[in-house]
Amino acid sequence: MGETVTVPKPLLKELYKHFARIEEILATLEELMDKEGFERIKKGLEEYKKGEYTTAETIEDIKKALTKD
C-alpha cells in the first residue's frame, strides 16, 4: 500500500471547486428535506419576490441590518 499517485495542481483545483459545489447542493437538499428548513426557504422566496429583503456587503452592514428596528 505504499503506492502514490501524482495529481497536477490545476486538476486538483478543479476537483476541489466541483467538490465544493456538490457540497452546497447536498446541503440545500438536506435543508429542503427538513420541513422547517423548507418553510424558511419558502418564506424567504416570498419575501424576495415582494422586495422585502436587505443586502449587505460587509460584516458591518450585516450588524447594522440585524440591529435595525
What is the band of 2 on the pLDDT scale with cuts at 50, 70, 90?
confident
What is the band of 69 on the pLDDT scale with cuts at 50, 70, 90?
low
Alpha carbon distance, N-terminus to C-terminus of the chain: 62
**What was the pLDDT predicted at 66?**
87
SS3 1: coil
The DSSP code sequence of 15-36 is: HHHHHHHHHHHHHHHHHHHSHH
Dump pLDDT digits (tens) for 19-31.
999 999 999 899 8
- Tally the C-alpha atoms within 13 A of residue 7's C-alpha that lie toward its C-beta: 9
Do 12 and 21 meet the contact criterion of CB atoms below 8 Å apart? no
Length of the chain: 69
Dump pLDDT digits (tens) for 29-55.
998 888 898 898 899 999 989 998 888
